[in-house]
Amino acid sequence: MTETTRQPQIANDLIWRLLDNNAVVVSPHVGEVRVLNGIGTVIWQLLVEKKSPAQIEDFLVANYDVSHADAQKDIQDFIKDLADRGILIWDS
């Protein structure tokens, strides 16, 4: 199964909260705190709702001035960055 067909999931040991409309993500095992910007927070909340990358792409295209290609690339980059940091994991 490839990353394009697997579902990204939020790592179990994370703590996160919305603060002033931004997601604040704390990763205790690495001692890292990330504050997501507006669109990052939107993507994060959709991931919390277990939306697939394709569903997130459709949401962004429908609600923001962005093309499918740009939305897809931004989502892939966002997910890869958070996966590289251990904040997101891939389901098996």
- Residue 48: inside a domain, yes or no? yes
- Residue 89: inside a domain, yes or no? no
Amino acid (one-letter) located at 11? A
Q: What is the pLDDT of residue 92?
A: 64
Q: What percent of the chain has pLDDT over 70?
A: 93
pLDDT tens per residue across span 5-24: 678 999 888 999 999 999 99
Number of domains in the chain: 1
Domain span at residue 80 reads 8-84
The alpha carbon torsion through 64, 66, 72, 75 (nearest 10 deg) reads -50
- Residue 31 sits in a domain of what CATH number? 1.10.10
- Residue 91: inside a domain, yes or no? no
- Residue 2: inside a domain, yes or no? no
pLDDT tens per residue across span 18-71: 999 999 999 888 788 999 999 999 999 999 999 999 999 999 999 999 999 999
pTM over 0.75: yes
The Cα–Cα gap between 15 and 1 comes to: 28
Cβ 75 vs Cβ 57: under 8 Å: yes
Q: How far is CA 87 from CA 56, 63, 82, 83, in A?
A: 18, 26, 5, 6
- Residue 90: inside a domain, yes or no? no
- Residue 61: inside a domain, yes or no? yes
- Residue 53: inside a domain, yes or no? yes
